[in-house]
């Protein structure tokens, strides 16, 4: 399944385009199926309707666990590094992980979870999080993991959208020198969640928590009441595996739906190839399992390939900025997959935290989540990779399920800040605003994909029309990514950033409309407009223009109040970096906010605002510019 030379990549790519069904059937045959498919692919991008490996039966956990037991049962599956470096790390072999997953799967069953039921998981980055995810998959329940930084309201929205039956959580989480009271957040969320019947609580921080009779139970007690024999549920390839909520340009977050067969094949294939994983190697992805990167490249991709995946509970700067490098040294990490934000933030500490650390085990470096600037790329290459490790700049999305455009380590010649070339099976196309293809090289356009791949989303939970509208209606017969893209003279792709109203803050996708709605819920706020602006460490920062008529002298306090409201409604990750109080917003006569102008102001570049003659009240712009200079 692994590609070993650039020529082989080119040949494989051609085959994957000319005979996609044959190509993917070949890849899929490297996995364990209870029954093979009747039909590889049927699809249309109009309704849309996409089916891979129809008729096939499988369970992804047999691929991630059972099939490794005979020969690699004692191989470490998960190595866990705690937040506190003084605490012991934990290793779970494939045998132990299998046992724990089966046991917890029985706990879920005992608590009424059946095939097809939705389970919300809100946990710290501990091995039990991976266990809970896999236990759902074991019995055919659909997991919906919610990142530990989201607020009670965000959790409630997600639980209600999917009508989840059970929540799996922990008392609390450690993050650097902070503790997050997860159970307390869940308790607040559940006030508005009538579908939840049971809450299973893992002891981790051992902070006092309230336990509601009949609803709440302890993980540790429950696992004692079941055995570890749990046959894997037989799933159709197109049965739902999980829902993961992600932000878009409008409305509430959407529940992106991935299915069992195609997702498994795609996550496993891309993991094995992009990182050139070799048996016995230690692979460390620094993402949180609450995001797609954690789903595909901490859990499913690596485990499906029998890899050793390192899970880190903490943050890169605790107890100091050497933490990642200490982990690399301690666990002899061979492959490190992280985000530009982390690289930029660590780069800010200079080379001192890296000095004296033994990074010689590193073989491959990876980057994901946002465009990586050249400076960060070179720092990563020189300081961490010692100019001896390929950097795979992997472009993909929650919706794509796995990496789409990326170098293949040791195969694709890299170029700083370029995601380079599409992986086999991926057919990118650049189009103009009208959807007309932009051919040739040395061009810019909106990035679309013109042919299905196994890992793509199938729908958005409970609202298929929204899936069609968001991804398949902008341009006929194309999947629209929402990203702008450059194809250079060599045909290499460079993702330039979102072209819709989504901003990418520290690699987290945040919808401007969501932040606006949260700000508008603050008492006293009449209206707001949110845009992104370049931020040295986070990639993009959040800039909010807010109309708040009764503003007293204590502007700073009001600002903090608004931040508090946003934290309550969405979570701390959506807090604006800057708030500018204004008396009006630049609107066209039809009432549309001209965001282009606000973006310019937020960027601090007001020299050329373009045509503002269509504005209802051009004077507003002068006021905004004036005030922004004082910020
Ligand atoms: C952005 C994360 C540039 C992009 C896996 C995309 C990137 C969004 C890259 C998806 C990259 C991701 N270079 N931009 N290598 N990787 N992006 O759903 O804008 O959290 O649309 O998935 O992140 O974010 P999501």
What's 574's domain CATH number?
3.30.300.30
Where a domain ends, among 195, 221, 247?
A: 221
CA of 86 to the centre of ligand 1 (A): 34
CA of 493 to the centre of ligand 1 (A): 13
Domain-embedded: residue 165? yes
How many angstroms separate the CA atoms of 52 and 25, rounded? 10
Q: 509 in ligand 1 pocket by Cβ < 6 Å?
A: yes
Where a domain ends, among 170, 189, 221?
A: 221
User: pTM here?
Assistant: 0.97
Contacts of 179 by beta carbon, 8 Å cutoff, 6+ apart:
172, 173, 205, 207
pLDDT at 606: 87
Q: Tell me the pairing of strands 335-338 and 364-368.
A: parallel
Residue 501 banded pLDDT, cuts 50, 70, 90: very high
Q: Does pLDDT of 541 surpass 90?
A: yes
How many angstroms separate the CA atoms of 627 and 375, rounded? 32
CB 408 within 8 A of CB 276: yes
Structure-block tokens of residue 375: 């400076």
Q: Does pLDDT of 496 surpass 90?
A: yes
How many angstroms separate the CA atoms of 350 and 341, rounded? 15
Contacts of 63 by beta carbon, 8 Å cutoff, 6+ apart:
31, 32, 264, 268, 304
Nearest to 420 by CA among 497, 484, 487: 487
How many angstroms separate the CA atoms of 152 and 571, rounded? 8
Domain-embedded: residue 463? no
Residue closest by Cα to atom 6 of ligand 1: 397
Domain-embedded: residue 123? yes
pLDDT at 613: 84
Domain-embedded: residue 583? yes
CB 135 within 8 A of CB 107: yes
Q: For the residues 214-230, what does the mean pLDDT come to? A: 98
Q: List, in sequence order, the alpha helices (H) in 213-357.
A: 219-224, 260-274, 292-294, 301-304, 323-331, 340-347
Domain-embedded: residue 256? no
Please give the share of the chain, as a percent, with pLDDT higher than 90: 95
Q: Does pLDDT of 226 surpass 90?
A: yes
The phi, psi pair for 270, rounded to 5°, reads -70, -40
- The 10s digit of each residue's pLDDT in 556-607 is 999 999 999 999 999 999 999 999 999 999 999 888 999 999 999 999 998 8
Where a domain ends, among 198, 221, 244?
A: 221
CA of 580 to the centre of ligand 1 (A): 28
The phi, psi pair for 448, rounded to 5°, reads -130, 170
Domain-embedded: residue 158? yes
Q: For the residues 106-131, what does the mean pLDDT come to? A: 98
Q: 395 in ligand 1 pocket by Cβ < 6 Å?
A: yes
Burial class of residue 348 in the structure, from the number of CB atoms within 10 Å of its CB (0-12 exposed, 13-18 middle, 19+ buried): exposed
Burial class of residue 610 in the structure, from the number of CB atoms within 10 Å of its CB (0-12 exposed, 13-18 middle, 19+ buried): exposed
Q: 510 in ligand 1 pocket by Cβ < 6 Å?
A: no
610 φψ region: left (φ > 0), alpha (ψ -120 to 50), beta (else) = left
- The 10s digit of each residue's pLDDT in 310-349 is 999 999 999 999 999 999 999 999 999 999 999 999 999 9
Domain-embedded: residue 264? no
Name the residue of 244, 338, 395 whose CB sits within 8 Å of the most ligand 1 atoms, as the mutation to test its pocket.
Answer: 395
Q: For the residues 527-555, what does the mean pLDDT come to? A: 94
Burial class of residue 15 in the structure, from the number of CB atoms within 10 Å of its CB (0-12 exposed, 13-18 middle, 19+ buried): middle
What does DSSP assign to residue 399?
G
pLDDT at 631: 82
pLDDT at 611: 84
CA distances from 464 to 115, 256, 468, 508 (A): 21, 10, 6, 24
Domain of 180, CATH number, reads: 3.40.50.980
How many angstroms separate the CA atoms of 166 and 317, rounded? 34
pLDDT at 375: 97
Q: Does pLDDT of 455 surpass 90?
A: yes
Q: 449 in ligand 1 pocket by Cβ < 6 Å?
A: no
Nearest to 344 by CA among 175, 83, 176, 535: 535
- The 10s digit of each residue's pLDDT in 3-50 is 999 999 999 999 999 999 999 999 999 999 999 999 999 999 999 999
Our count of domains for the chain comes to 2
Residue 415 banded pLDDT, cuts 50, 70, 90: very high
Q: 239 in ligand 1 pocket by Cβ < 6 Å?
A: no
DSSP assignment of 122-186 equals E--SSHHHHHHHHHHHHHTPEEEE--TTB-HHHHHHHHHHHT--EEEEES-EEETTEEE-HHHHH
Q: For the residues 510-533, what does the mean pLDDT come to? A: 96
pLDDT at 29: 98
Q: Apex CA 133: angle with CA 130 and CA 136, to 5°? A: 145
Q: Does pLDDT of 178 surpass 80?
A: yes
pLDDT at 233: 98
How many angstroms separate the CA atoms of 384 and 351, rounded? 10
Q: 236 in ligand 1 pocket by Cβ < 6 Å?
A: no
- The 10s digit of each residue's pLDDT in 341-389 is 999 999 999 999 999 999 999 999 999 999 999 999 999 999 999 999 9
Domain-embedded: residue 598? yes
pLDDT at 552: 80
How many angstroms separate the CA atoms of 144 and 167, rounded? 9
Please give the share of the chain, as a percent, with pLDDT higher than 70: 100
- Give the domain extent around 547: 502-628
Name the residue of 368, 397, 510 whose CB sits within 8 Å of the most ligand 1 atoms, as the mutation to test its pocket.
Answer: 397
Residue closest by Cα to atom 3 of ligand 1: 371
Residue 609 banded pLDDT, cuts 50, 70, 90: confident
Mean pLDDT of the chain: 97
CA of 239 to the centre of ligand 1 (A): 26
């Amino acid at each position: 399944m692994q590609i070993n030379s650039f020529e082989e990549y080119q040949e494989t790519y051609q085959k994957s385009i000319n005979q996609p069904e044959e190509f993917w059937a070949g890849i899929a045959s490297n996995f364990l199926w209870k029954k093979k498919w009747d039909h590889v692919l049927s699809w249309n991008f109009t309704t849309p309707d996409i089916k891979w490996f129809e008729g096939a039966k499988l369970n992804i956990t047999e691929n991630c666990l059972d099939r490794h037991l005979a020969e690699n049962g004692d191989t470490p599956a998960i190595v866990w590094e705690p937040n506190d470096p003084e605490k012991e790390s934990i290793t779970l072999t494939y045998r132990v992980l299998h046992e724990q997953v089966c046991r917890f799967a029985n706990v879920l069953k005992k608590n009424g979870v059946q095939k097809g039921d939705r389970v919300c998981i809100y946990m710290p980055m501990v091995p039990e999080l991976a266990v809970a995810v896999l236990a759902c998959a074991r019995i055919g329940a659909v997991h919906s993991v919610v990142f530990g930084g989201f607020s009670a309201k965000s959790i409630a929205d997600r639980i209600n959208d999917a009508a989840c039956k059970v929540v799996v959580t922990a008392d609390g989480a450690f993050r650097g020198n902070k503790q997050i009271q997860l159970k307390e957040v869940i308790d607040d969320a559940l006030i508005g969640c009538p579908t939840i019947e049971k809450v299973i609580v893992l002891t981790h921080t051992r902070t006092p928590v309230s336990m509601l009779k009949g609803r709440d139970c302890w993980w540790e007690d429950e696992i004692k009441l079941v055995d570890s024999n749990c046959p894997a549920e037989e799933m159709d390839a197109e049965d739902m595996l999980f829902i993961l909520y992600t932000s878009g340009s409008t409305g509430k977050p959407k529940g992106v739906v991935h299915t069992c067969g195609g997702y498994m094949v795609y996550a496993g294939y891309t993991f094995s190839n992009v990182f050139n994983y070799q048996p016995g190697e230690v692979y460390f992805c620094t993402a949180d399992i609450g995001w797609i990167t954690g789903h595909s490249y901490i859990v499913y991709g690596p485990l499906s390939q029998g890899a050793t995946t390192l899970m880190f509970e903490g943050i890169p700067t605790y107890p100091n900025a050497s933490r990642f490098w200490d982990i690399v040294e301690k666990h002899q990490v061979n492959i490190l997959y992280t985000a530009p934000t982390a690289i930029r933030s660590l780069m800010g500490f200079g080379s001192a935290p890296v000095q004296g650390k033994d990074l010689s085990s590193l073989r491959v470096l990876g980057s994901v989540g946002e465009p990586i600037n050249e400076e960060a790329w070179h720092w990563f290459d020189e300081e961490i990779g010692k100019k001896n490790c390929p950097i795979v700049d992997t472009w993909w999305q929650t919706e794509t399920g796995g990496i789409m455009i990326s170098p293949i380590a040791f195969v694709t010649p890299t170029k700083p800040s370029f995601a380079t070339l599409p992986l086999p099976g991926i057919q990118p196309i650049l189009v103009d605003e009208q959807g007309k293809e932009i051919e040739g090289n040395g061009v810019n356009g909106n990035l679309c994909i013109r042919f299905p791949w196994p890992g793509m989303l199938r729908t958005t939970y409970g609202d298929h029309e929204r899936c069609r509208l968001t991804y398949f209606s902008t341009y006929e017969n194309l999947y629209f990514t929402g990203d702008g893209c450059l194809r250079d003279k060599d045909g290499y792709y460079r993702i330039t950033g979102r072209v819709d109203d989504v901003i990418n803050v520290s690699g987290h996708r945040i919808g401007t409309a969501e932040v606006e709605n949260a700000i508008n819920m603050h008492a006293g706020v009449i209206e707001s407009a949110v845009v992104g602006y370049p931020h040295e460490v986070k990639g993009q920062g959040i800039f909010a223009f807010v109309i708040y008529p009764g503003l007293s002298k204590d502007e700073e306090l009001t600002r903090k109040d608004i931040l508090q409201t946003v934290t309550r409604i969405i979570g701390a990750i959506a807090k604006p970096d800057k708030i500018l109080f204004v008396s009006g917003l630049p609107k066209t006569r039809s009432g549309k906010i001209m965001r282009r102008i606000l973006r310019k102001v937020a960027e601090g570049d007001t020299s050329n605002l373009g045509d503002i003659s269509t504005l209802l009240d051009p004077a507003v712009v002068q006021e905004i510019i004036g005030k922004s200079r004082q910020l």
